Structure 1
Amino acid sequence: MTPDRDKRFRQTGWPGFRAILFHKYFLLRRAMTVGVRGMVFDREANAIFLIRHTYVPGWQLPGGGVELGETCEQALGREFSEEGNIVFTAPPLLKSIHLNRVNTRRDHVAFYLIENFAQDRPKQPDREIAEAGFFALDALPEATTPATKRRIGEVFGGEVASGYW
């Protein structure tokens, strides 16, 4: 089984059905979807910021969809504000662009590295985010998603960026 097909990190039940409905809706409304994800890196702590959603299993990098009329950097800033109470103090660095073929063949993800940021308070759980926090690179949660591990390897391990999420 390839990492992209790891069933432990697939949506099931109502959240999975809802995701399929959203993808079908967007298929009718848009020819292609674009999302953003980012890796906030705290150099002093050698740690990255991860979230765990209420509706998707696993720990992953924050991010989400780019809305109509929004730039990728604006979407990234909005998502980090919502999912982590994090604001950027310098522009994020675009590292790579990936095809996310887990649910559809038309979803692309722009991946950014953020090293200049501020967090005014820890993210508290809500309806979307079950948990959030910084994790040392050598002490990641056991349920870190395969895609998150691949991005970490590309940024810190010198691995070549995959064209696929």
Structure 2
Amino acid sequence: MPEPKGPSPTVDVVILLPGDRVVLVRRKYPPPGWALPGGFVDVGETVEAAAVREAREETGLEVTLEHLLWVYSDPRRDPRRHTLSAVFIGRAAGEPKGADDADEARAFAWGALPSPLAFDHAEILGDARRFLLTGTRRRP
């Protein structure tokens, strides 16, 4: 029986730092731009472990996951292929340093996020900010 085809599982992490800041990475590979730290889930890896690993690889930060924000699955969210991303909110301390797939990692104040952001990350950050301020998540 052939393997079923479907979306690729990914993770993204909204990393919160002291001073009401959020971490973004400048992508090394296409599509270009600033984005949330994240990437593909490895075979045999949980989405939680993938989120912590990707955050560490791209920012050098040890992240403690606090919330599963949402699962984003719009087939148009990634121009390379259909992905399904579990997005987490986590906290860390220290200053980010870009590595791995990230040319640069930087903490931004919520009111000073760069634009445009890669993928659907502007939407995700809006959802995260609303959740942090009100405790409400988007609805299906």
Distance in 2 (alpha carbons) for counterparts of 1:47 and 1:144: 16
Deviation at 1:91, TM superposition (A): 3.6
Unaligned runs of 5+ in 2: none
Alignment of 1:23-62 (within 5 A): 31-32=5-6, 33-42=8-17, 44-55=18-29, 56-62=31-37
Aligned residues: 130
Q: Which residue of 1 aligns with 2:127?
A: 154
TM-score, normalised by the number of residues in structure 1: 0.67
Calculate the aligned-residue CA RMSD, in Å.
2.5
Distance in 2 (alpha carbons) for counterparts of 1:97 and 1:86: 23
Q: Greater helix share, 1 or 2? A: 1
Unaligned runs of 5+ in 1: 1-27
Instruction: State the percentage of identical aligned residues.
Output: 26
Matched, 1:113 2:85: no
Matched, 1:133 2:106: yes
Alignment of 1:13-24 (within 5 A): none
Higher relative contact order (CA closer than 8 Å, sequence separation 6+): 2
Deviation beyond 6 Å, 4+ runs, structure 1? none
Q: Which residue of 2 aligns with 1:23?
A: none
